[in-house]
Chain A
Amino acid sequence: DQQVKQNSPSLSVQEGRISILNCDYTNSMFDYFLWYKKYPAEGPTFLISISSIKDKNEDGRFTVFLNKSAKHLSLHIVPSQPGDSAVYFCAASGTGANSKLTFGKGITLSVRP
């Protein structure tokens, strides 16, 4: 029973173009969402987060959009760079029993030079 779903296992984009990574969740108790980035042989590193009281959060080239009614969030990377090639994990948390981070399976992003 996956509560955080990243249905596309991989994405390939051209350098300079926009990368859009999608994430869906099923648990309506989740109210805080995070994106992590992971390079091979390294641990995940925090990228950006969004609270459910917002629908958008921006940090440089990275923007996360949240659509609560659809239980959907997306990470936009503009412009994409070859160094962005990595696995991106979506994670979510809520209150009480849902307070611990629940991760999706990850999306492998490849940015072609």
Chain B
Amino acid sequence: NAGVTQTPKFRILKIGQSMTLQCTQDMNHNYMYWYRQDPGMGLKLIYYSVGAGITDKGEVPNGYNVSRSTTEDFPLRLELAAPSQTSVYFCASSYGIRGTEAFFGQGTRLTVV
């Protein structure tokens, strides 16, 4: 049971480039999330999804896009990368949304130069 798998683990982007962070879960969870963690800060919700075909914005959605075509996959797209997007990104999934335990991936460390 792999849980939540994120790729890549590390990436360096140049300003203005774009990339997709991949996230897959094998627990058949309906709810999936993307968080970012900046140094010394908590996790900020970027986007979330309550099921295939349904996505919604979190606290810090600007500069990002998501899609959810299947229950398993929830990719995060960065368009026109900026230095402010340098962060560690975590994908998570859960059975329910309200207070239920969320399972996290190992994270993607992104640096924009």
CB distance from B44 to the nearest CB of A (A): 8
Residue pair B98, A44 in contact (C-beta under 8 Å): no
Let me know if A79 is at the binding interface, CB within 8 A. Answer: no
Q: In the complex, are the beta carbons of B42 and A104 less than 8 A apart?
A: yes
Asked if A49 and B101 sit within 8 Å, CB to CB, the answer is yes
Q: Which B49-105 residues sit within 8 Å CB-CB of chain A?
A: 58, 90, 92, 97-99, 101-105
The answer on a CB contact under 8 Å between A43 and B42 is: no
Cβ of B40 and Cβ of A45 under 8 Å apart?
no
Whether B99 and A46, one on each chain, are in contact in the complex, defined by CB atoms closer than 8 angstroms, is no
Distance in angstroms from B29 CB to nearest chain A CB is 13
For this complex, into which size category does the number of interface residues on chain A fall?
Answer: 20 to 34
Query: Which residues from A are CB-within-8-Å of B97?
Result: 93, 99-100
A41→B88 CA distance, assembly (Å):
10
Say yes or no for B106: interface residue by CB 8 A criterion. yes
Docked Cα-Cα span, A101 to B42, in Å, equals 11
* Cβ–Cβ contact A46 & B90, under 8 A: no
Judge if B43 is at the interface, Cβ distance under 8 Å.
Answer: yes
Report if B41 contacts A (CB, 8 A): yes
Instruction: Report yes or no: B45 in contact with A100, Cβ–Cβ below 8 A.
Output: yes
Contact of A43 with B98 in the complex, beta carbons under 8 Å: no
Binding site for A on B (CB under 8 A): 4, 33, 35, 40-45, 48, 58, 90, 92, 97-99, 101-107
Extra inter-chain contacts (9) besides given A9-B40, A43-B104, CB under 8 Å: A42-B107, A43-B107, A44-B104, A93-B97, A99-B97, A99-B99, A100-B48, A101-B99, A106-B42
